Structures are given as structure tokens and as C-alpha cells.
């Protein structure tokens, strides 16, 4: 089998796992926002993301929108991309998406929160050199029970965690937070 065939097979296997993950989330949760995003990536990055999808169905893991009663949201500073992002990350082999989101929240911000459900289900389409696959990115919502964030990230990617009334301009997750806020205000 050539490397091209190998990449095609990985992409196909990843898409099948993504379909299983999407079905599982759609069956378990209701009343969430559906979003779609497309990414064109290098061949190397495609292989990495397709492998993650093959393992869990999610190229970027599971995330949480954490909010306080006053409407402020919690974001963490991801040094690898130099932006404020939602707490979240990869899903372990024996974790549900929600368990992974809760673990990542604990590691990246040290905040205890009461999970409300699934806020957004993002379909992430990935393409590189004629190869395509897709995965899911579940974003849960949770109300904070503790107010003071404390970063204890074992990966060393997160340097800060803060509450924001207005989403900073250097936030990768601005579209998701805006959609979530619009939905809550309806």
C-alpha cells in the first residue's frame, strides 16, 4: 500500500469514527447549537488530526464554556497559539467527551463547575491535498461553583485563566461564545 493509500484509509476510518461520535452526542443531548468549520491543513497536520479522530471522533477534543451568574465567561491563555481559548483538550481512551472536558477544565483552570449539557456541537471538516475527513468538537456549558481560577496544566500549554465580560479580540473561540450568548438571550 502506498503512503497515499495509507492516508486515504486513515481518513476513511476517521470519518467512520466521527460518525459514531456524532451519533452518540446527538442521541444523548438535545437543545444545542450546531456549527460547522472547515480547515485546510498540511499533510503532516492532516495525519495528526485524522489519527485523533480515529481514536475518539474529535480532532481537538472536548471543551467547556464556563460561565458565572453575572454572565462572565472563563478563558485560558494557550501559549502555543498565543490566544485566549475555551478550556478543553484531547479525550483519553477511557473517557466520555464530558469527562474529558471536566478533566481539562480542572487542569487548565482549577474551576469546579456544574455541567448543564452540550452547548455546541461543531462539525470540523479537514482537507489536505485531496484528502478529506471530519470530526466533532463538543463544547459543553457549565456554571462555575468556584470563582478563582488556578492553572495546573501538565502539558505546560496554558499560562493563565481569566474571567471576561467581553470576549477578547485575540480569542480563537469568539464565534462559539457569540453563538452561545445569542442562544441564551433568545
pLDDT computed for residue 185 by the predictor: 76
- Within 10 angstroms of residue 178's Cβ, the number of other Cβ atoms is 11
Full-model pTM: 0.93
Q: Which residues lie closer than 8 Å to 112 by C-beta, 6 or more apart? A: 106, 144, 145, 146
Does residue 121 contact residue 136 with C-beta atoms inside 8 Å? yes
pLDDT computed for residue 91 by the predictor: 96
- Please name the CATH architecture into which domain 3-185 falls: Alpha-Beta Complex (3.90)
What CA–CA distance (Å, rounded) separates 91 from 96? 7
CA angle 124, 126, 129 (to 5 degrees): 170
Question: What count of Cα atoms within 13 Å lies in the side-chain half-sphere of residue 153?
Answer: 22
DSSP assignments along the chain, one per residue: --HHHHHHHHHHHHHHHHHHHHHHHHHH--S-EEEEEEEE--HHHHHHHHHHHHHHS-SS-EEEEEE-TTS-EEEEEETTTTEEE-SEEPPPTT--HHHHHHHHHHHHH---EEEEEEEEEEEEEEEETTEEEEEEEEEEEEEES--S-----TTS-EEEEEEESS--TTBTTHHHHHHHHHHHH-
Q: Tens-digit pLDDT profile for the chain (186 aa)?
A: 445 568 999 999 999 999 999 999 999 999 999 999 999 999 999 999 999 999 999 999 999 999 999 999 999 999 999 999 999 999 999 999 999 999 999 999 999 999 999 999 999 999 999 999 999 999 999 999 977 898 888 888 999 999 999 999 999 999 999 999 998 876
Cell of 81: 497559539
pLDDT computed for residue 152 by the predictor: 86
pLDDT computed for residue 5 by the predictor: 62
Q: Write down the domain spans for the chain.
A: 3-185
pLDDT computed for residue 153 by the predictor: 84
What is the bridge-based pairing of β-strands 62-67 and 131-144?
A: parallel
Task: Give, rounded to a whole angstrom, the gap between the first and last alpha carbons of the chain.
Answer: 53
Does residue 59 contact residue 137 with C-beta atoms inside 8 Å? yes
Amino acid at each position: 500500500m502506498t503512503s497515499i493509500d495509507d492516508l486515504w484509509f486513515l481518513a476513511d476510518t476517521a470519518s467512520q469514527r466521527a460518525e459514531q461520535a456524532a451519533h452518540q452526542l446527538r442521541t444523548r443531548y438535545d437543545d444545542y447549537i450546531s456549527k460547522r468549520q472547515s480547515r485546510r491543513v498540511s499533510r503532516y497536520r492532516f495525519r495528526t488530526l485524522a489519527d485523533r479522530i480515529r481514536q475518539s471522533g474529535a480532532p481537538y477534543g472536548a471543551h467547556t464554556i464556563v460561565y458565572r451568574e453575572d454572565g462572565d465567561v472563563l478563558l485560558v491563555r494557550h501559549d502555543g497559539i498565543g490566544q485566549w481559548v475555551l478550556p478543553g483538550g484531547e479525550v483519553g481512551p477511557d473517557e466520555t467527551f464530558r469527562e474529558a472536558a471536566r478533566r481539562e477544565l480542572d487542569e487548565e483552570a482549577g474551576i469546579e463547575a456544574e455541567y448543564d449539557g452540550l452547548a455546541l456541537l461543531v462539525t470540523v471538516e479537514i482537507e489536505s491535498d485531496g484528502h478529506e475527513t471530519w470530526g466533532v468538537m463538543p463544547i459543553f456549558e457549565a456554571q462555575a461553583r468556584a470563582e478563582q481560577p488556578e492553572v495546573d496544566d501538565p502539558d505546560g500549554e496554558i499560562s493563565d485563566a481569566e474571567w471576561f465580560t467581553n470576549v477578547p479580540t485575540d480569542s480563537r473561540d469568539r464565534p462559539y461564545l457569540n453563538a452561545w450568548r445569542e442562544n441564551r438571550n433568545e
